[in-house]
Amino acid sequence: MAVTTHEERALTAAARGHQVELFEARQSLGGQAALAAVPPHKEGCRAITDSLAAAVRRAGIPVHTGSRVTADELIKGFPDAVIVATGAEPIVPAVPGLAEFGFSTGHQVLRGEVEVGSRVLVIGAGMAGMEVAEFLAVSGREVTVVEMLPEVARDMEPIGRALLLKRLQALPVTILTGTTVERISSEGILLDTGGEEVRLAPVDTVVVAAGTRPVDELSRGLRDLEIEVHVIGDAQRPRRIFDAVHEGYAVGCRV
């Protein structure tokens, strides 16, 4: 549950006199917002999550980390309302050979949960994919990024995008646009570059950063029990940090 949505609504609801409890599946608060501070030149994003988490502690809101709750567990506390901010999960493209070869997600890489080899293929060149590519290249990896669209980082604001692309020019990063991955194996990567097949040399690691989709299994069970439920943030639709903070505040005011 992302700190920018989850904790913002908890603070707002608590300030309005509600008794609030916060449940987080991971061992620490922050969600994807915490990951935003990991890539190079984005360390300042940590201030957002740190300040909100500190405000939660000051407000005395009970926080249950490492707690992936179910609808049945929640209703035992007889809540008047439940706000679901369970975030999003990576989309894994249906590429032949991907599952057999093995892959990591961009989230896993940024969290330091996986070992990454010296030659890396990144599938997806939105903001997430490009930031993962820079993160890996700065640490000495040789990175190839494959994007099916004609442009990269289209979901970034213009100045940040321009600066990122300029930095990547000085790093061992190859970007292939208008290209799809046809097959992955230990013998190499087969690509389709607009009707022409190209084979890349074998890589050590494949990283999937092809976007995210909402995670919301909780609200359905709660609505069946006629409990007031609000689904917010990436659990409703993946968006930006600003949108998550604003929505968390707005829902906290409504309950």
Report residue 2's pLDDT band, with 50, 70 and 90 as the boundaries.
very low
Burial of 70 (0-12, 13-18, 19+ CB in 10 A): exposed
pLDDT for residue 6? 52
Residues 6 or more apart whose Cβ sits within 8 Å of residue 227: 75, 79, 81, 82
Say if residue 137 is in the same domain as residue 154: yes
Which residues form the domain of 166? 92-208
Position 243 pLDDT exceeds 70: no
**What percentage of the chain has pLDDT greater than the value 90?**
49
Q: What is the pLDDT of residues 44-54, one digit of tens each?
A: 888 878 888 88
Residues 64, 45 within the same domain: yes
Structure tokens at 182: 């046809």
Same domain, 192 and 105: yes
What is the domain-level CATH number for residue 47?
Answer: 3.40.50.720
State residue 149's pLDDT score.
Answer: 96
Residues 171 and 99 in one domain: yes
pLDDT range class, residue 119, cuts 50, 70, 90: very high
Q: Indicate whether 12 pLDDT > 70.
A: no
The answer to whether residues 100 and 165 belong to one domain is yes
pLDDT, one tens digit per residue, over 120-169 is 999 999 999 999 999 999 999 999 999 999 999 999 999 999 999 999 99
Q: Region 12-26: what's the mean pLDDT?
A: 75
pLDDT higher than threshold 90 for residue 220: no
- Please say if the pLDDT value at position 170 is more than 50: yes
The domain tally of the chain equals 2
Q: What residue spans of the chain are helical by DSSP H?
A: 3-15, 31-35, 46-58, 71-75, 98-101, 106-111, 127-138, 158-168, 218-224, 241-254
Quick one: 83 and 96 in the same domain? Answer: no
pLDDT, tens digit (0-9, with 9 covering 90-100), for 35-46: 888 999 888 888
pLDDT-derived band at 5, boundaries 50, 70, 90: very low
pLDDT band at residue 1 under the 50/70/90 scheme = very low
Query: Could you tell me if 104 and 203 lie in one domain?
Result: yes
- pLDDT tens digits, 93-117: 999 999 999 999 999 999 999 999 9
Mark whether 127 and 39 lie in a shared domain.
no
Domain of residue 177, CATH code: 3.50.50.60
Query: What amino acid is encoded at 185 in this protein?
Result: S
Task: Spell out the residues 6+ positions from residue 145 whose beta carbon is closer than 8 angstroms to its own.
Answer: 122, 124, 125, 129, 130, 133, 152, 173, 174, 175, 176
Q: Are 151 and 199 contained in the same domain?
A: yes
| 52 and 105 both lie in a single domain | no
Same domain? For 158 and 217 the reply is no
Residue 61 in this model has a pLDDT that exceeds 90? no
Residue 212 or residue 78, greater confidence? 212
Question: From residue 18, how far is each of 11, 62, 147 by CA, in Å?
Answer: 10, 13, 46
Q: Do 109 and 204 belong together in one domain? A: yes
